[in-house]
Structure 1
Amino acid sequence: MKEKIKSWAFSKEHGKCDVITLIIYLLGVCTVSFFHEPWFDEAQAWAIARSGSLKEILFEIPHYEGHPPLWHLILVPFAKLGAPYELSLAVVNIFFMTLAVAVLLFKSPFPKLIRCLLPFNFFLFYQYGVVSRPYCILVLAIFLAAVCYKNRNEHPVKYLLCLTLMCAIHSMGIIIAGAFCIVWLCEIFAEKYRAGKLATVFKDKRCWLMASLLILVLLIIVEIFPHYNTYTPSSSNTDELFSFNFSISTLLRFMLIITEATVGQMPPGPQYIYDYISLIPLCALSFFLFALCCMLFCKNKKLSIFLLTY
């Protein structure tokens, strides 16, 4: 019996278990969403989709929102046609997150036990599954990119389309996709160098596809670049845009991100960093997790992707 359970838990086969997990996830997210009162940023996206003109949504509002207008454009048909606010917002978000979880369940190489537990962690179940934000599409794009990653050299268009979706939905997607492309470009250069064909690198289809993505990203950055009065009512906000105050607390918060994303919780703001004693175990855990991730990614030859995106 014990061996049978162990065999099931570590099996990588896809089947009924994944279907059942997806149904439970969908029912659970729908139930929690029924009791969820939208936060102000969820409501703001809906208000923009309802009241903004297409011109404003495409060319004006992104300078104040800080991310591309795709999320607002998706909400436009529902908001402008008078669909129920909370219901429509939840349905759109649940639709994309259910697709993302389906990709995770039916396409990931993880053992059954891990696959069936992952959808119910805090981020996939509540933060992205219940709270209606553009992150639901970002998660879907990242999972699709992971599926296409293995065959990215044979099918670069599919992989680049996934990265394009990441860039088009959120400014954080630009950073992640950019890191993926930098690593991929380095791999292509190394591949050409080993083959003695470095001169042909710019004739490579993959490089031209990444160049096309770069042009799109530059246009998106121009579209979302903050106006002079985005942060302050004064004539300029250059200080807020281009200043960076490096400190020990900044470095600590940077390292604590990995704990925040897994098993711990970092202090809510820089003003709490003074309590160094309480931070000692949290920092120790963060450094341990960081070292563990480095070991795992190094073993799978993905260390550069982990470090650059981090």
Structure 2
Amino acid sequence: MKKIILFLRYPLTNKVGEAVIVPVESLQENLWEVCKKAYPDGKYFSFDRYYGRTELTSLGRMFPYILRDDVYVWNVPYSDLSIQEFLDTHGLTEQDMIEVEVDNVGSAGEMLLRLYQEWVSFAEIAGLVVDQIGRGMTVYSVLKWLYCSFGKKKESKPKVREFYQFLVSRNRWNVKVLAKRLSTDETFLKAMLEAVGFEDRGGGDYTFSREKNEKFGELCSAYMNSWSNNHGGEINCCGVNEEVFIINRNMLYLRILCSEIQANRIWAEAKKKLQELICQNSEYLFVAGDETTVCLKEQFPDGFGYEEESWLWGALHSLNTYLDGKIWPLEELLEREI
């Protein structure tokens, strides 16, 4: 007899996992509601076996992606997914077991990270990999591809962690089929696949290389370690490093928004503000080749102490506050036009 089996795990307690049989007639029922019926005392249900550990499922009650009508859709609410769609997304049949984590709740911090902040980090690391193979990818190009892909609204775009887990969930992809299903650019997908460890086999086919994926992981670790750089001194500069990172993310995003809405005056003013910041803090800061990317000097002057760190952080934070004030109205304007 055909049946659906939910296997409930309880990772935060000593309770032994248990299997619950669901009638096959329930295929069109909502998966979350079926889970709730199977274990009424559960407050949160997540699906780490399929998506990795993510607060999108355990706290946000959203599936990072599902396959619907042969198209991948991102950030789907629990209330909008049937058991059949879940099976189809993960290549399962009625005879397969659906593994569910119950009340597996961690920190909500990841839900508060901004989408583009994550993508700038990923793009900087991916750029190191892809540049080695001559594709010449830049952070701006990745954000531009992202802005034009998956739909215009933020809600339709994947978070980096979920997109990475999605790419490495299979050992083989055809980039032409994937681009169609994701509604995104082939060049973007090729760059992302090669960055995380896939090899181009020709004809649009890509296969996973564990060795290359491990090298990508090493680059990620090295990138995160750079946040603890004290620039030759003994003062903790993590706050300063973070503000510089956010400035560069905000400048990139503002550049994209201004190009979409032809807001040249706003972009010119932002660049002027940035140049003023660099001039006033030239002993600590300089700009990269495009004159819109802030860099911290590897070695700060002797005598850099808590007072200097506080002043520098305040100047950087002030620019970020200004940029936020320009970004959000433009973003809201563009979303109203969609």
Q: Please give the TM-score of this superposition, normalised by the length of structure 1.
A: 0.26
Q: Specify which structure has the higher proportion of strand.
A: 2
Which structure has the larger Rg over C-alpha atoms? 2
Structure number with the bigger relative contact order (C-alpha 8 A, sep ≥ 6) is 1
Structure having the higher helix fraction is 1
TM-score (ref. length: structure 2): 0.24
